[in-house]
């Protein structure tokens, strides 16, 4: 498990670096175009080479390293077509209505997001907050491209500062997050001087702060320079930004190569802290049950329990459930007494059956102490349900949505358990 986590972090780090280097490369290429004013065909050729490199790298990540690349391959292909149409509009056919293609892209992304979410809902999959934010940001970027193409074809007469309004908004939010992170890094430096923190936290935090700057301050500077140049056809700081970006990219790459082990360990620690916080959050959801209600176990994963209203729990035991439970116990007695099944193999099998009922059905390590509602399935321990709920909110057996779950303990009465407390799922 530790090796899997290590490999997963390795892939994640290189994915992060790949994203940063590609993003900065697009900016550097366009700055070189503004500085030396070369032919637009040469500019687009460089972008197409970058797209080919991206497609090759994404294919390698997906096929060889089994990395999740989502729809990045399709997005890169759409970007290549858009660049081709931009070149046609700028160089060869000034009246080409490229904005209609941007409308089609916007419609495609909107339909894609809609279909993906409907598919998740129909399959009882949880739509995570990260996925929702990522989809929203992608739609905003497509809207930004649409505004740029409309400006290129003079469909709108806004100045370039206004055209980039969507990007400005996203970058301001990114800068706020980056600023808060910088404050925490300042604390880390002070703690390191006072020997209250480790070298891993210092180096990992500093590298990550450099990385985050590539998606906050530098893009804001880039958009400012582009807007100023497009409005006035002049800017005396383009060369400065061009050199700073090249040096900065080199520093991030060099820092990763020199301190890879520290950065890797720092990201692993961040993941563990995040997991611990999620665990603590789940644990705090438990509400004590004042009356010691009892429930009856029917099988290793199913319990005859409960009718409930809001937070009030009432327990009803049906005669059928009690008979079923007694029949099961008598069947075990019969198996134990049958001379025909007294062979060592049969005894081992019987022990395995009993063992499987006494252990969590997911980790097979500790005793189960959780029962899910309303489906009434159990056979799972508290640690496993916490990990499960981080991924989805459906029962691990029947996939019914988990509304509440109980923490139980063995009772002194045969075949019965006591409900200790209840947790309500958000």
What pLDDT shows up at residue 164? Answer: 96
Measured between alpha carbons, how far is residue 3 from residues 8, 258, 263, 268 in Å? Answer: 8, 22, 17, 12
Please give the residue that has the higher pLDDT: either 336 or 187: 187
Measured between alpha carbons, how far is residue 162 from residues 27, 222, 363 in Å? Answer: 19, 15, 56
Terminus-to-terminus CA distance in the chain, angstroms?
Answer: 29
Q: CA-to-CA distance for 152 and 207, rounded, in angstroms?
A: 38
Mean of the per-residue pLDDT values of the chain: 80
Question: Is residue 107 scored above 50 in pLDDT?
Answer: yes
Q: CA-to-CA distance for 374 and 307, rounded, in angstroms?
A: 9
Most confident of 196-210, 265-279, 388-402: 196-210
Neighbour-count burial for 118-134, b at 16+ CB within 10 Å, e otherwise: eeeeeeebeeeeebeee
Per the CB < 8 A criterion, the answer to whether 410 and 324 are in contact is no
Work out the angle at residue 284's Cα, subtended by the Cα atoms of residues 283 and 288, and round it to the nearest 5 degrees.
Answer: 95
Q: CA-to-CA distance for 388 and 367, rounded, in angstroms?
A: 17
Per the CB < 8 A criterion, the answer to whether 18 and 57 are in contact is yes
Question: Is residue 343 scored above 60 in pLDDT?
Answer: no
Q: CA-to-CA distance for 86 and 97, rounded, in angstroms?
A: 10
CATH 3.30.40.10 domain extents, the chain: 286-424
Per the CB < 8 A criterion, the answer to whether 349 and 380 are in contact is no
Q: CA-to-CA distance for 227 and 147, rounded, in angstroms?
A: 14
Question: Is residue 284 scored above 80 in pLDDT?
Answer: no
Q: How many other C-beta atoms lie within 10 A of the C-beta of residue 99? A: 21
Measured between alpha carbons, how far is residue 381 from residues 119, 192, 372, 377 in Å? Answer: 30, 39, 11, 12
Q: Which residue has the tokens 């019914």?
A: 400
The CATH superfamily label for domain 286-424 reads Zinc/RING finger domain, C3HC4 (zinc finger) (3.30.40.10)
Q: CA-to-CA distance for 34 and 38, rounded, in angstroms?
A: 8
pLDDT tens column, 194-241: 888 889 989 999 999 999 999 999 999 999 999 999 999 887 899 999
424: left (phi over 0), alpha (psi -120 to 50) or beta: beta
- pLDDT-derived band at 243, boundaries 50, 70, 90: very high
Please give the residue that has the higher pLDDT: either 413 or 99: 99
pLDDT tens column, 287-330: 766 666 778 877 778 887 655 444 455 544 443 333 334 333 44
3-class secondary-structure state, position 48: helix
In the DSSP assignment, the letter for residue 88 is I
219 Cβ contact list (under 8 Å, min separation 6): 23, 27, 167, 171
- pLDDT-derived band at 1, boundaries 50, 70, 90: very low
pLDDT tens column, 8-55: 788 888 888 988 999 999 999 999 999 998 888 899 999 999 999 988
Q: How many other C-beta atoms lie within 10 A of the C-beta of residue 373? A: 22
- pLDDT-derived band at 83, boundaries 50, 70, 90: confident
């Amino acid at each position: 498990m530790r090796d899997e986590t290590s490999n997963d972090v390795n892939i994640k780090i290189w994915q992060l670096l790949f994203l940063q280097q590609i993003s900065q490369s697009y900016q550097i290429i366009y700055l070189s175009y503004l500085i030396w004013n070369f032919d637009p065909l040469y500019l687009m050729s460089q972008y197409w080479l970058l797209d080919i490199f991206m497609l090759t790298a994404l294919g390698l990540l997906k096929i060889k390293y089994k990395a999740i690349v989502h729809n990045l391959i399709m997005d890169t292909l759409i970007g290549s077509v858009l660049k081709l149409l931009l070149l046609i509009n700028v160089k060869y056919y000034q009246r080409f209505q490229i904005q209609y293609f941007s409308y089609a892209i916007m419609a495609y992304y909107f339909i894609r997001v809609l279909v993906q979410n409907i598919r998740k809902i129909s399959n009882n999959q949880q739509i995570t907050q990260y996925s929702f934010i990522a989809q929203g940001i992608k739609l905003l970027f497509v809207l930004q491209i649409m505004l740029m193409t409309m400006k290129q074809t003079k469909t709108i007469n806004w100045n370039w500062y206004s055209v980039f309004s969507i990007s400005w908004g996203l970058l301001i939010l990114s800068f706020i997050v980056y600023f808060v992170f910088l404050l925490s890094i300042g604390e880390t430096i002070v703690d390191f001087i006072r020997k209250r923190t480790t070298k891993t936290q210092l180096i990992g935090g500093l590298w990550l702060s450099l990385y985050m700057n590539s998606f906050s301050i530098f893009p804001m500077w880039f958009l400012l320079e582009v807007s100023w140049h497009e409005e006035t056809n002049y800017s005396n700081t383009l060369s400065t930004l061009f050199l700073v970006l090249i040096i900065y990219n080199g520093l991030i790459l060099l820092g990763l190569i020199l301190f890879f082990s520290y950065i890797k360990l720092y990201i692993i620690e961040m993941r563990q802290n995040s997991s611990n916080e999620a665990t603590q959050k789940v644990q705090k959801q438990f509400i004590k049950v004042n009356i010691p209600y009892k429930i009856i176990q029917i099988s290793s994963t199913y319990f005859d329990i409960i009718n409930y209203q809001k937070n009030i729990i009432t327990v009803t035991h049906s005669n059928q459930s009690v008979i079923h439970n007694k029949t099961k116990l008598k069947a075990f007695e019969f198996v134990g007494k049958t001379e025909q099944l007294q062979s060592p193999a049969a005894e081992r099998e019987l022990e395995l059956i009993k063992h499987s009922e006494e252990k969590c059905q997911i980790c097979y390590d500790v005793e189960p102490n959780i029962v899910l509602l309303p489906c009434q399935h159990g056979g799972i321990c508290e640690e496993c349900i916490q990990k499960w709920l981080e991924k989805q909110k459906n029962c691990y057996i029947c996939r019914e949505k988990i509304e509440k779950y109980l923490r139980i303990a063995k009772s002194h009465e045969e075949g019965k358990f006591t409900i200790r407390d209840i947790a309500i799922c958000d």
